[in-house]
């Protein structure tokens, strides 16, 4: 296959990487705000009297809400565009993050019965503080759901095909930078000011990002700081479908093989990251009896290791494409490497010391980031630009809805067994299963790729 023009022409400018930097910091803030709850699980549980299942309800509330936020946030980004949609999402989730601190005003010794009879799930009784945190997490999840669909859409508009996985890996590394800063800073903020102020401070950071976005961002076709040469470079390296203004009805997305492949991969592999986000600090504390600061520091080490995966995975596929490999082979070989790197995670609960444990889990987390960079790029490889955010949103919806169910199951497993062994064992094989399904549904990723209906041969 002949390379695209952009793969043979030197880049005439680098302003598009400033846009990537904005995405990087939005994702970093996204992860700071969502990861605080995992770091403070121990102190909050002791102070407010939460059980394992109480915490699971709080964590799953975010994931269910994030699932719907992803779904509708993706559609919102396609509807109003990222210029307005992304800052709107950041503003809302920053307010929701700060609202967690208001739960300190709720009585810690009262309970509330929540009825879910309309879902045929009966009712359950939780502390009032659990309900308050669930409400704040729901608001956070709904607002944060627009971030990744908007970021992927921005990359598709600002980068040629051969640079998309790298750009995605770079901005997705913000998840790890945010996650590194979070466990390092949060225990110290908690020790100095308490947990309410910790939520207030981290929530306020989003307002700083909003100022930067309003100052720097404009659509690539209109941006006054983007040179004509760089604009043409971006255009020349995009699929032919990227220039067409295509209206794609939501339900019609289910008629594409690529959409089903993305959904299946999102269901199988997507929820694994939630294990690290919501349970890794607890796993480390219980396995090695660490204090809160040590738990935070080792969690930061995990995210530091994981931060290299998105960039490495994006670089690898881009490098292979630049050397003349087909898009199909470059994407799938990179996904396979990532899937294989996750397999050793089943050994994590049996490691004799915390360093070996964090190295094994860090390798899996790094592989997940490389996997995500290429899976996100798979959407822009196979779908019209007008549908990219909607497809990413749909995949995120099923991934986080599945993750919400999985979190409830993990809570029950921990309540009954106290062991993470079966949890990590299952996670070790899910990426290979996801890649197999993706390959069966989309045997060949073309470049450029006209979206093929699911019913097509």
Tell me the per-residue pLDDT of 318-373, one tens digit each, with 9 for 90 and over.
888 888 888 888 889 999 999 999 999 999 998 989 999 999 999 999 999 899 88
pLDDT-based confidence at residue 138 (cuts at 50, 70, 90): very high
The percentage of residues in the chain with a pLDDT greater than 90, rounded to a whole number, is 22
Whether 397 contacts 170, CB under 8 Å: no
Instruction: Look at 75 and 135; give whichever has higher pLDDT.
Output: 135
ω into residue 195 within 30 of 0, thus cis?
no
**CA nearest 399: which of 362, 372, 377?**
372
DSSP state of 324: T
Whether 448 contacts 239, CB under 8 Å: yes
40-42-46 Cα angle (round to 5): 115
Q: Which residues on neighbouring strands pair with residue 112, listed in sequence order?
A: 126
pLDDT average, residue stretch 99-122: 68
pLDDT above 50 for 7 = no
Average pLDDT, the chain: 82
Contacts of residue 110, Cβ cutoff 8 Å, sequence gap at least 6: 127, 128
pLDDT digits over 219-269, tens only?
A: 888 887 888 887 888 777 566 544 444 456 767 788 888 899 999 999 999
3-state helix, strand, coil in the chain (%, to 5): 80, 5, 20
pTM (predicted TM-score) = 0.69
Q: What CATH number has the domain spanning 5-441?
A: 1.20.1250.20
How many Cβ atoms sit within 10 Å of the Cβ of residue 429?
15
pLDDT in the model for residue 145: 82
What torsion do the CA atoms of 171, 452, 400, 114 make, to the nearest 10 degrees? 140
The percentage of residues in the chain with a pLDDT greater than 70, rounded to a whole number, is 88
Domain ranges of the chain: 5-441
405-406-408 Cα angle (round to 5): 65
Q: Which residues on neighbouring strands pair with residue 165, listed in sequence order?
A: none
pLDDT digits over 292-321, tens only?
A: 888 888 988 998 898 788 778 878 888 888
How many Cβ atoms sit within 10 Å of the Cβ of residue 373?
33
**CA nearest 265: which of 399, 150, 373?**
399
Burial category of 192 from C-beta neighbours within 10 Å (exposed 0-12, middle 13-18, buried 19 and up): exposed
């Amino acid at each position: 296959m002949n390379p695209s023009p952009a793969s043979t022409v030197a880049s005439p400018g680098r302003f598009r990487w400033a846009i990537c930097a904005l995405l990087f910091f939005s994702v970093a803030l996204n992860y700071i705000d969502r990861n605080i709850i995992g770091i403070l699980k121990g102190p909050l549980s002791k102070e407010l009297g939460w059980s394992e299942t109480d915490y699971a309800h709080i964590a799953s509330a975010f994931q269910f809400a994030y699932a719907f936020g992803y779904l509708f946030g993706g559609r919102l980004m396609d509807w109003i565009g990222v210029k307005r949609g992304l800052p709107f999402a950041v503003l809302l989730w920053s307010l929701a993050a700060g609202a967690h601190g208001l739960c300190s005003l709720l009585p810690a010794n009262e309970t509330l019965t929540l009825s879910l009879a309309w879902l045929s799930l009966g009712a359950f009784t939780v502390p009032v503080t659990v309900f308050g945190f669930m409400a704040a997490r729901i608001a956070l999840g709904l607002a944060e759901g627009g971030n990744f669909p908007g970021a992927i859409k921005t990359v598709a508009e600002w980068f040629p095909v051969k640079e998309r996985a790298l750009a995605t890996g770079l901005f997705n590394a913000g998840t790890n930078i945010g996650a590194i800063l979070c466990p390092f800073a949060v225990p110290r903020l908690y020790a100095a000011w308490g947990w309410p102020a910790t939520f207030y401070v981290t929530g306020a950071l989003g307002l700083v990002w909003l100022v930067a976005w309003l100052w720097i961002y404009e659509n690539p076709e209109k941006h006054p700081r983007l040179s004509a040469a760089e604009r043409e470079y971006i255009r020349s390296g995009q699929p032919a479908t990227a220039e067409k203004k295509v209206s794609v009805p939501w339900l019609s997305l289910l008629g594409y093989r690529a959409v089903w492949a993305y959904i299946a991969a999102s269901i199988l592999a997507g929820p694994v990251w939630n294990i690290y986000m919501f349970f890794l600090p607890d796993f480390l504390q219980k396995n090695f009896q660490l204090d809160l600061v040590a738990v935070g520091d080792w969690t930061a080490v995990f995210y530091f290791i994981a931060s290299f995966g998105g960039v490495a995975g994006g670089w690898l596929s881009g490098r292979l494409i630049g050397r003349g490999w087909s898009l199909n082979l470059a994407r799938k070989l990179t996904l396979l490497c990532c899937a294989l790197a996750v397999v050793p995670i089943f050994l994590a609960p049996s490691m004799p010391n915390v360093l070996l444990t964090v190295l094994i889990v860090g390798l899996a987390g790094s592989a997940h980031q490389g996997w995500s960079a290429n899976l996100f790029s798979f959407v822009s490889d196979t779908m019209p630009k007008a549908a990219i955010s909607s497809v990413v949103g749909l995949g995120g919806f099923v991934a986080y809805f599945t993750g919400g169910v999985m979190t409830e199951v993990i809570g029950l497993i921990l309540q009954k067994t106290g062991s993470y062994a079966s949890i990590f064992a299952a996670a070790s094989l899910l990426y290979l299963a996801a890649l197999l399904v993706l390959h069966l549904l989309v045997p060949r990723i073309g470049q450029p790729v006209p979206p093929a209906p699911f019913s097509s041969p």
